[in-house]
Chains A and B, each alone.
Chain A
Amino acid sequence: MTNPVPPPVGATASPIADLSYRTYNGPLRTRAVRWWVVALYTIRKARRSQGFWVLSAVCVLSYIFHALQFYLEENVSTLMKAPSHVNYVLPFFSAMNGNLNAYCLMGICMLLGAGSIAGDQRVNALMVYLSKPITRTDYLLGKWVGLMLTIFAVAVIPSLILYMIMVAAYSSSGFFASTHWLLLQICLAALVPSVVLSALMTGISAWSRSSFTAGALFASLYIVTGIIANILALAMFAHQAHVILMVRHASIPGIIDAIAQRAFNVTLRHRVFGYSSEMPVGAPPLSFSLSVATVLVVISIAAARAKIHAVEVVRG
């Protein structure tokens, strides 16, 4: 007869396997910042995505275009005897707040974030994650921060490169004198969309069955909230200007636009469904936009956390 196989070292004598990993609540003895492991994996995954690199390259186009425009304004227009308006902040604002950059950041967020939790749930990887000594918060924080840092990098690195070029080209023409806080302005304008978009995408992904659904829902919310805010602003035409501005910017693209305007101290005149002259210009106070952004982020992350459980999903 065959000899019984001795149990491996550390195994219990019970013939029933240890299933306590399913509800692990013992001591957590991994590295101090456990969520960073998950975040790092998310960032590495982004680096392997071809779509991420393509969209990042398209983002850079926006900077090239606006830098070129600035150069033409400052050199060609002077040669043509047209008045010169030196505003070193403008190319940064235009590039970061332009449609090209906004849509590409949205696209990157969808490509990398839509399947982040939805995909884990679909293939039951979430169960495996949570069987490790990390908490639901660690997992969620890792997913969110990984996506956020990736988007932040795409938003801020081209700006920093442009900043260095501007320093090289215009440091003798008063660049530093008029741009004391430009680096901070750039960071604020890049950080807010990164935080808001990544939180929203993470929340939607946690509640979606598939990455396609999550991506479609994210894009729809992004676009529709902007339209609804504009409709409401039009409906409140008789109200005071600052109220209309708050309503107009109480949307996902609105928050990003308002914070960029405030960060760079630039005033924009928008056309709203064909109306330009009647609508008030500018952006609401920074505190208002930051409050709306905070509420959106908190709701998204809380919703995601409520949905993250180590439950086996049967569908394949």
Chain B
Amino acid sequence: MITLERASRWYGQVVALNDVSCSVGKGITALLGPNGAGKSTLLKLVTGQIRTTTGNVRVLNLAPFANSAVYKRLGYVPELESAYEEQTGRQFVTFMAALAGIPGPERNSRVAAALEKVAITAAADRKMGGYSKGMRQRVKVAQAIVHDPEVLILDEPLNGLDPVGRRDIGNILIEHAAAGKCIVISSHILHEVEHLTRNILLLHKGRLLAQGDIYTIRALIDKHPHKVQLECGKARQLAQTLAGMDSVVSVRIDRANAGLVEIETPHPDRFYADLPGIAEHNDLEITAFHSPDNNLEAVFNYLVHS
């Protein structure tokens, strides 16, 4: 639904986005990167606020810049906290719904539903000048979903939200994704988006570092062996046994927790396949098992700092 072909954007001598090619389909895609990575620039290109310096951007197979045909099917939550201070939340969302072309008779019910969805109904008739950051975020999401767009772009939508708010907005996004919509959510806080999606676009210094499924990407990073932590009553014996495995490159017993063994393996699939047999053969009861770096943050660190 969204395609970038060698898209670059310069601001004077600063390259904000550098030769990025990628495509985003249905479902939730997390746009990740540290501050200044070019996330907002990419979203501005996709939402047609700015043009590429070189390359192409297509949204729903159309050029997005100032294109009403795209905006009819696109919802956007900007990063800015700006709002029409003199308008109430309901007036603002109604205005946005009208501009999106929702006809009069239908408009009020659609607005009420959107406000209800983001749980701002109780404060909807107050002026936005008195809203907190979290309330503004909710109203911003409401104006973006009120016309039920096929593509939803959210620039740091979870900033300023309390845990309940994050959960509410997260649920809305999951619901939209389940309905076959394309959702792009940018964030530099990894755990915020980790429970929403496994599909990522990782930017750093204006360049695209990785795209796709987080676990697939992790598996492809050979340079950094996977860490696996195992808890066992016979930690020393387990460590000794694991040290003999071909797929294991290092073994360490945690000083603070004597029952915890941490290994590093460049071939996690082989290790996971061999482990049950070894445990059974040596009569080792493994009580807990997890991989601390098979997550978004680890991938992020490996790619950004390598």
Query: Given that A314-B136, A316-B80 are contacting pairs, would A1 and B254 also be in contact in the complex, using a CB cutoff of 8 Å?
Result: yes
Q: Are A1 and B256 in contact (CB under 8 A)?
A: yes
User: For chain A, which range describes its interface: under 10, 10 to 19, 20 to 34, or 35 or more residues?
Assistant: under 10
Instruction: Enumerate the 10 nearest inter-chain pairs by beta-carbon distance, A residue then B residue, closest first.
Output: A316-B81, A316-B82, A316-B80, A1-B254, A1-B256, A1-B257, A314-B133, A315-B85, A1-B260, A315-B82
Residue in contact with A315 in the complex, picked from B81, B254, B256, B260, CB distance below 8 Å: B81
Q: Write out, one digit per residue, whether chain A residues 1-20 have a CB within 8 A of any chain B CB (1) or not (0).
A: 10100000000000000000
Q: Are A315 and B129 in contact (CB under 8 A)?
A: yes
Residue of B nearest to A209 (CB): B85
A residues within 8 A CB of B257? 1
User: For chain B, which range describes its interface: under 10, 10 to 19, 20 to 34, or 35 or more residues?
Assistant: 10 to 19
Distance to closest chain B CB from A142 (angstroms): 28
B residues within 8 A CB of A3? 256
Distance to closest chain B CB from A87 (angstroms): 51
A residues within 8 A CB of B260? 1
Q: Are A314 and B81 in contact (CB under 8 A)?
A: yes
B residues within 8 A CB of A1? 254, 256-257, 260
Which residues does B use to contact A, with CB under 8 Å? 80-83, 85, 129, 131-133, 136, 254, 256-257, 260
B residues within 8 A CB of A316? 80-83
Overall SS of chain B's interface: loop
Jot down 19 A-B pairs with beta carbons below 8 A, ordered by A. Answer: A1-B254, A1-B256, A1-B257, A1-B260, A3-B256, A314-B81, A314-B131, A314-B132, A314-B133, A314-B136, A315-B81, A315-B82, A315-B83, A315-B85, A315-B129, A316-B80, A316-B81, A316-B82, A316-B83
Residue of B nearest to A122 (CB): B82
Distance to closest chain A CB from B120 (angstroms): 15
A131 to B133, CA, bound (A): 22
Distance to closest chain B CB from A115 (angstroms): 16
Distance to closest chain A CB from B26 (angstroms): 31
Beyond the given A1-B256, A314-B136, A315-B85, could you list 16 further A-B residue pairs with CB under 8 A, ordered by the A residue number?
A1-B254, A1-B257, A1-B260, A3-B256, A314-B81, A314-B131, A314-B132, A314-B133, A315-B81, A315-B82, A315-B83, A315-B129, A316-B80, A316-B81, A316-B82, A316-B83
Residues 54 to 72 of chain A near chain B (Cβ within 8 Å) = none
Residues 108 to 163 of chain A near chain B (Cβ within 8 Å) = none
Residue of B nearest to A4 (CB): B256
A residues within 8 A CB of B83? 315-316
A residues within 8 A CB of B133? 314
Residue of A nearest to B79 (CB): A316
Distance to closest chain A CB from B253 (angstroms): 11
Distance to closest chain B CB from A274 (angstroms): 41
Distance to closest chain A CB from B202 (angstroms): 23
A residues within 8 A CB of B136? 314
Residue of B nearest to A2 (CB): B292
B residues within 8 A CB of A315? 81-83, 85, 129
Residue of A nearest to B83 (CB): A315
A1 to B253, CA, bound (A): 10
A193 to B285, CA, bound (A): 87
Distance to closest chain A CB from B135 (angstroms): 9
A3 to B256, CA, bound (A): 9
A21 to B181, CA, bound (A): 46
Residue of A nearest to B82 (CB): A316
A314 to B131, CA, bound (A): 8
A235 to B96, CA, bound (A): 52
A313 to B136, CA, bound (A): 13
